[in-house]
């Protein structure tokens, strides 16, 4: 089989080059027929063109583990010129493979009936289906089974939104002139972003066959040139751990290195099954996927926007301390309610928290404290600091469809109460919107002392021989200048959130984790215990030398401290597995 498809799928990698160079599909002589001397015209030989698709390049994680590879797979193709009785052949195929006749007829109708180029009609045939075709081969002139490389994933939904999927070039893409019918093209994620490197260049053969379609000799052979290999920033072990932790939940997880903005894991759930695109997905299956009410095609890390809830209190505290509107010793008595005119704003804790200072207000996530703090700071100042933390603007990540969020103070219109807007904004509610990726970048800035990195997904693209084709050195696209005392106060407060506050369910013995819980209301008067609120937990660790930022969002999950924080703990357990194990033994 290796000789049939031009080599083992994925065994060779190289740079993309002109797909027309030495490609027998672009040789005008491919349509000729050969009649050896002494043979009657009835049994004249023919020239058959057999393309050999180039294996797409392999994507690796930062440690050299494959995220997606290739494997050999069977593809059913039709050669229009060799089909003498179209209705009979297509009817037989329709019965054998349980394929709609109109689907086969439509595939043939898209090309000239005199074409010798194979038309792919189904990818990913099973061995049983191949056996059926071979059994009826004499009655199926112009029907061939080819071996082509097909994408292979660790699991069917592994990193689906990050890696993306590959499909045949659609009509719109064909009009661009860059692709030919039947070409597999990256449609989303890294497969789309790096398609020019991953595709490589196809090869093929020109073969002389007899009247029965049996090969006689190879006239020309061109090896396919596999696509380049890609080294990503992803850590496969962390990605797998994050996906396990999110099983059964809708939402998103982002794991980032705060030292350089590398995305170590990116999870959006529910996810779509990547392997359903490796074969031929029908129109009905595609429509069902797109109309799925759980929106599995949506990348929630960058394409969904949510109120951040109490995670936003980090921004409010930073603004107040830096502008000296607040001091760590400012105290407020919280009885569970705050009155503003005819409006009453409740705390999440019935009966309130008693007398709290800023540190205790962060640790216990006291809403009443931040209602009053927000009014003292002012909506314009809060909005300015939110922007400085990277909110309300794209992160710059190299993925399509990124949402920018919304900062009300920068986009406010006429509403019922200017002060009411400020009160809502102070606890991350109201019109404020963020993406999980924005929150991850914000927490990275808290962890590293104010540097905003563009999230990086790809380290480099290189040939199999190591020649570099592309590299991303990383980019700093923002810096937030706060007093060292403010950064130190925030870090200590967030550490205590986990050690003794609302984030206690994220605590791991032996690991200093700093974090902030958030419970974002979706509707007025919603109840977290009924699963009506979004659950957040934004964190980093270890506190003294931050290396990992973990942000968890669970849609309609309930309270952040009870739902999102334990998920983050599972991820940290996987990250610090050796250190956690040693702490358990010594303890």
- CATH (domain of 70): 3.90.1310.10
The confidence band for 523, taking pLDDT boundaries of 50, 70 and 90, is low
Mean pLDDT value across residues 535-564: 97
Percent of the chain with pLDDT over 90: 61
Of 232, 256, 286, the domain-final residue:
232
Is 468 within a domain? Answer: no
CB contact at 8 A, 76 and 97: yes
For residue 580, what pLDDT is reported? 57
Q: Are residues 445 and 573 in the same domain?
A: yes
We report the CATH number of the domain holding residue 537 as 3.40.710.10
Confidence at residue 5, expressed as pLDDT on a 0 to 100 scale = 39
Grouping H, G, I as helix, E, B as strand and the rest as coil, residue 136 is coil
Q: 421 with 477, same domain?
A: yes
In the numeric block, which tokens belong to residue 509? 């013995």
pTM exceeding 0.75 = yes
Any domain includes 1: no
Whether residue 4 lies inside any domain: the answer is no
CA distance 261 to 549: 10
Res 18: pLDDT:
39
Beta partners for residue 246, in sequence order: none
Backbone angles phi, psi at 214, to 5 degrees: -85, 135
**Would residue 8 count as lying in a domain?**
no
What are the Cα distances from residue 397, in Å, to 27, 329, 441?
42, 39, 11
What per-residue confidence (pLDDT) applies to 224?
Answer: 83
Domain boundary among the residues 179, 211, 232 is at: 232
Q: Note the pLDDT tens digit of each residue in 135-184.
A: 998 889 989 898 888 888 888 899 999 999 888 777 788 778 777 777 88
Co-location of 158 and 266 in the same domain: no
Q: Is residue 52 part of a domain?
A: yes
199 and 61 inside one domain: yes
Tally the domains of the chain.
2
Q: Are 353 and 368 spatial neighbours (Cβ–Cβ below 8 Å)?
A: yes
pLDDT for 527: 54
Do the beta carbons of residue 572 and residue 543 sit within 8 Å? no
436 and 418: one domain? yes
35 and 175 housed in the same domain: yes
Closest CA to 382 of 409, 416, 355: 409
Report the pLDDT value the prediction gives residue 256, as an integer from 0 to 100. Answer: 98
* Residue 145 maps to a domain: yes
Residues 223 and 260 both lie in one domain: no
Least-confidence region, from 200-214, 333-347, 469-483: 200-214
Query: pLDDT tens digits for 32-85?
Result: 444 444 444 344 667 777 777 888 999 999 999 999 999 898 999 998 988 889
From 202, 232, 262, the end of a domain falls on 232
Average pLDDT for the chain: 86
User: What is the sign, positive or negative, of the torsion defined by CA atoms of 364, 369, 373, 374?
Assistant: positive
pLDDT at residue 209, as a whole number? 77
Q: What is the pLDDT of residue 524?
A: 52
Residues 128, 65 share a domain? yes
- What is the structure's pLDDT at 34? 42
DSSP H helical segments within 177-225, as ranges?
A: 189-193, 195-198
Is the domain of 199 the same as that of 310?
A: no
Low-confidence winner among 89-103, 272-286, 362-376, 557-571 (lowest mean pLDDT): 272-286
Closest by CA to 203, choosing from 23, 55, 14, is: 23
Q: Is 263 helix (H, G, I), strand (E, B) or coil?
A: strand
3-state secondary structure (DSSP) of residue 376: helix
Domain span at residue 39 reads 24-232
Task: Write out pLDDT tens, residues 87-144.
Answer: 999 999 999 999 899 989 988 888 888 887 888 888 889 999 999 999 998 889 989 8
Residue 24 has a pLDDT of 41
Task: Give yes or no for residue 321 having a pLDDT over 70.
Answer: yes
Residue 319 has pLDDT above 70, yes or no: yes
Residue 199: inside a domain, yes or no?
A: yes
Q: Which of 2-6, 138-142, 263-267 has the lowest mean pLDDT?
A: 2-6
Q: Which two tokens stand for residue 422?
A: 């400020």
Per residue in 555-585, pLDDT (tens digit) is 999 999 999 999 999 999 999 986 555 555 5
Q: Which of 525, 303, 295, 256 is CA-nearest to residue 433? A: 303
Tell whether 272 and 163 lie within a shared domain.
Answer: no
Q: In this structure, are 45 and 109 located in the same domain?
A: yes
Instruction: Decide which of 142 and 211 is more confident.
Output: 142
Express each pLDDT in 226-260 by its tens digit.
Answer: 899 999 999 999 999 999 999 999 999 999 999 99
Answer yes or no: is pLDDT of 293 > 80.
yes
- Whether 16 is in a domain gets the answer no
Residues 258 and 371 in one domain: yes
């Amino acid at each position: 089989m290796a000789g049939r498809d031009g080599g083992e799928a994925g065994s060779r990698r190289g740079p993309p080059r002109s797909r027309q160079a030495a490609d027998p599909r672009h040789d005008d002589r491919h349509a000729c027929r050969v009649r050896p001397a002494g043979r009657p015209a009835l049994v004249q030989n023919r020239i058959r063109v057999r393309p050999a698709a180039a294996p797409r390049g392999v994507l690796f994680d930062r440690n050299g583990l494959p995220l997606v590879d290739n494997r050999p797979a069977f593809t059913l193709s039709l050669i229009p010129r060799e089909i003498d009785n179209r209705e009979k052949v297509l009817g037989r195929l329709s019965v054998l493979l349980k394929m709609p006749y109109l689907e086969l007829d439509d595939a043939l109708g898209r090309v000239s009936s005199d074409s010798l180029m194979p038309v792919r009609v189904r990818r990913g045939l099973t061995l049983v289906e191949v056996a059926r075709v071979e059994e009826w081969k004499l009655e199926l002139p112009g029907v061939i089974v080819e071996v082509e490389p097909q994408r292979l994933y660790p699991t069917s939904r592994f990193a689906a939104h990050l890696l993306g999927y590959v499909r045949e070039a659609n009509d719109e893409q064909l009009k661009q002139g860059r692709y030919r019918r039947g070409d597999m093209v990256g449609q989303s994620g890294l497969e789309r972003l790096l398609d020019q490197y991953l595709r490589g260049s196809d090869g093929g053969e020109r073969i002389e066959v007899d009247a029965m379609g049996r090969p006689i000799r190879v006239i020309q052979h061109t090896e396919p040139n596999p696509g380049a290999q890609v080294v990503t920033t992803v850590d496969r072990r962390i990605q797998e751990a994050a996906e396990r932790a999110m099983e059964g939940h809708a939402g998103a997880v982002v794991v980032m290195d705060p030292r350089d903005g590398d995305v170590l894991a990116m999870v959006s759930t529910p996810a779509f099954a990547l392997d359903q695109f490796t074969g031929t997905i029908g129109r009905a299956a595609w429509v069902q996927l797109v109309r799925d009410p759980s929106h599995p095609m949506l990348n929630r890390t960058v394409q969904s926007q949510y109120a951040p809830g109490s995670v936003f209190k980090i921004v409010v505290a930073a603004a107040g301390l830096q502008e000296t509107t607040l001091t760590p010793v400012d105290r407020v008595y919280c009885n569970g309610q705050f009155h503003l005119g005819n409006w009453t704003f409740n705390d999440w804790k019935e009966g309130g928290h008693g007398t709290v200072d800023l540190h205790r207000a962060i640790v216990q996530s006291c809403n009443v404290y931040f209602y009053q703090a927000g009014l003292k700071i002012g909506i314009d100042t809060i909005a300015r600091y939110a922007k400085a933390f990277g909110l309300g603007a794209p992160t710059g990540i190299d993925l399509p469809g990124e949402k920018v969020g919304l900062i009300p103070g920068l986009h406010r219109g006429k509403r019922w109460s200017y002060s009411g807007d400020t009160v809502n904004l102070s606890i991350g509610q109201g019109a404020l919107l963020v993406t999980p990726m924005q929150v991850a970048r914000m927490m990275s800035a808290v962890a590293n002392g104010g540097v905003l990195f563009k999230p990086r997904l790809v380290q480099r693209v290189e040939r199999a021989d190591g020649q570099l084709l592309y590299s991303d050195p990383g980019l700093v696209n923002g810096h937030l200048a706060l007093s060292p005392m403010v950064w130190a106060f925030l870090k200590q407060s967030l550490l205590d959130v986990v050690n003794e506050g609302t984030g206690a369910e994220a605590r791991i013995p032996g690991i200093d984790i700093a974090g902030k819980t958030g419970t974002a209301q979706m509707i007025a008067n919603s109840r977290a215990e009924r699963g009506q609120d979004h659950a957040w937990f934004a964190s980093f660790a270890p506190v003294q030398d931050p290396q990992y930022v973990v942000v968890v969002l669970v849609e309609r999950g309930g309270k952040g401290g009870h739902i999102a924080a334990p998920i983050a703990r599972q991820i940290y357990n996987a990250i610090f597995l050796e250190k956690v194990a040693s702490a358990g033994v010594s303890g």
